[in-house]
Structure formats: structure tokens, C-alpha cells
Amino acid sequence: MSIEKRVEATAKNIEGKVQEVVGEVTGNPADKAEGQAKQAESQVIHTTENLKDEVKKIID
């Protein structure tokens, strides 16, 4: 488990949520889409870290 990766992913998720809301408020679809993409990237990182944890449990 990489705590650094999880913290990075959480920060990216928060940044994406903020950017998505700003895009909605300002009516900028590009900002909204970019915010959603950051959130998706964050989820991929979390899923990858979860899989690594499960593999490590199996190996140990």
C-alpha cells in the first residue's frame, strides 16, 4: 500500500470535484469535463492500490 499514492489520488479527486463545480457555475463545459476526468483518474489510482493490497495479502 502506498500512502503517498492514496493521498495524491484523494487530492486529485478533491481538485476534480472543485473544478467540476466551477465549470458548472461558470458554464464552462471544458472545466467540468476536466474535473470529471481528474475524478476518474483518482478512482483508477485507488482501485490499483486496492488491487496491490489484495495481491500482497494473498502472497503473504
Q: What is the pLDDT of residues 20-60, one digit of tens each?
A: 999 999 999 999 999 999 999 999 999 999 999 999 999 98
- Tell if the pTM clears 0.75, that is, is over it: yes
CA–CA distance, 39 with 27 (Å, rounded to integer): 19
Distance CA 7, CA 32 (A): 22
H-only helix segments in 1-60: 3-26, 29-59
Q: Where are the domains of the chain?
A: 3-59
3-state secondary structure of 60: coil
